[in-house]
């Protein structure tokens, strides 16, 4: 991938080729004026990522791929960076992805640097061969998470959520319990990334407070972080969440057709993993 190529151009047919979908997000923010962010989904086999990594990695990112890494971690690092570069390509198609480096910060958070990129933040999450990433203006902190929905995680996730949260989601959402619990988990983890604390805080601090209508389906607010909202998405056996400041600080504008296409891409990514 070069900076000039659109992220979608890498999408191909068949599971040995990457699947990519990106989505631009309009952020109407009265304090700063209009802002833009981009969300990208990528699914790619490790072999493909390894063969093509010199087209999208910065030298400092290449240096993170030491021989000591387990294949699973190598895959996560590569597909996460690839999704992030796709999000960056959607936001700044004029920049070559190889001049942009995403390095771990002191809290292991992704820190983006590179000539011409300015104050752009990255949030990313990987699950097997699939990753989601957000490129957002630092003026508007955001976080993203992606998890696989597994029925055998129900007992564990039940212990990590409050009875109020579980009741709240059950009141608004049908579907299997594993999906509701995983959606809750994703929302909390995405909030923890927006806050940069990760899951090092008592999980109750990240609790979901209310369900509210969102432009994209299930939207929530948080019990202790009133300035943020979360958007939840689940399809196939993948759940994802996006967290960002809520109105009046930021009003999100998403094209409905583009959101539907993003959702379809997530379903396709889930199906590929199941088939693999």
Ligand X SMILES: CC(C)(COP(=O)(O)OP(=O)(O)OC[C@H]1O[C@@H](n2cnc3c(N)ncnc32)[C@H](O)[C@@H]1OP(=O)(O)O)[C@@H](O)C(=O)NCCC(=O)NCCS
- Applying CB under 6 A, the residues found at the interface with ligand X are 76-77, 80, 104, 107-110, 124-126, 145, 189, 192-193, 196, 198-200
Q: Which is nearer to ligand X, 126 or 246 (CB)?
A: 126
Residue (43 or 192) nearer to ligand X, CB: 192
Going by C-alpha positions, the residue among 229, 227, 219, 188 that lies closest to residue 206 is 188
Q: Give rounded-to-5 percent helix, strand, coil for the chain.
A: 40, 30, 30
In the complex, the smallest distance separating the C-beta of residue 118 from ligand X, rounded to whole angstroms, is: 20
Q: At its nearest, how many Å lie between ligand X and the CB of residue 33?
A: 26
The least CB distance from residue 64 to ligand X, in Å, is 8
Residue 247 Cβ vs ligand X, minimum distance, rounded to whole Å? 24
- Residue 244, classified by CB atoms within 10 Å of its CB into exposed (0-12), middle (13-18) or buried (19+), is buried
Q: Which is nearer to ligand X, 124 or 207 (by Cβ)? A: 124
Q: Between 213 and 270, name the residue whose CB sits nearer to ligand X.
A: 270
The 238-245 sheet, strands edge to edge: 143-148, 238-245, 228-235, 217-222, 208-214
Between 75 and 263, whose beta carbon lies closer to ligand X?
75
Please state the closest distance from residue 248 (CB atom) to ligand X, in A.
25
Nearest approach in angstroms of CB 123 to ligand X is: 6
Placement of tokens 């399809």 in the chain = 235
130 or 220: CB nearest ligand X: 130
Q: What six digits make up the tokens of 146?
A: 């992606």
Hey, what are 179's tokens?
């999906």
Q: Provide the sign of the torsion angle of the four alpha carbons 197, 112, 64, 238, taken in this order.
A: positive
Nearest residue relative to ligand X (C-beta): 198
Tokens for 14, please give them: 């068949």
């Amino acid at each position: 991938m070069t900076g000039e190529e659109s992220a979608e151009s890498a999408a191909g047919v068949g599971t040995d080729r990457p699947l990519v979908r990106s989505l631009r997000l309009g952020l109407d923010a009265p304090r700063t004026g209009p802002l833009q962010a981009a969300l990208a989904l990528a699914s790619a086999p490790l072999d493909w990522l390894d063969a093509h990594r010199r087209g999208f990695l910065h030298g400092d990112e290449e240096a993170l791929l030491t021989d000591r890494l387990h294949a699973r971690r190598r895959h996560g690092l590569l597909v996460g960076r690839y999704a992030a570069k796709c999000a960056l390509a959607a936001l700044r198609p004029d920049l070559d992805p190889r001049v942009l480096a995403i390095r771990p910060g002191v809290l292991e958070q992704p820190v983006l640097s590179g000539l011409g990129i300015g104050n752009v933040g990255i949030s990313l999450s990987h699950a097997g061969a699939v990753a989601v990433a957000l490129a957002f203006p630092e003026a508007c902190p955001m976080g993203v998470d992606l998890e696989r929905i597994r029925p055998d995680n129900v007992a564990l996730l039940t212990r990590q959520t409050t009875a109020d949260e579980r009741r709240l989601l059950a009141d608004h959402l049908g579907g299997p319990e594993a999906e509701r619990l995983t959606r809750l988990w994703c929302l909390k983890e995405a909030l923890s990334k927006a806050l940069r604390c990760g899951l090092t805080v008592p999980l109750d601090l990240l609790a979901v407070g209310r369900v509210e209508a969102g432009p994209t389906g299930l939207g929530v607010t948080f019990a202790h972080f009133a300035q943020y909202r979360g958007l939840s998405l689940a399809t196939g056996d993948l759940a994802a969440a996006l967290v960002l400041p809520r109105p009046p600080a930021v009003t999100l504008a998403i094209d409905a057709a583009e959101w539907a296409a993003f959702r379809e891409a997530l379903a396709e990514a889930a199906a590929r993993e199941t088939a693999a």
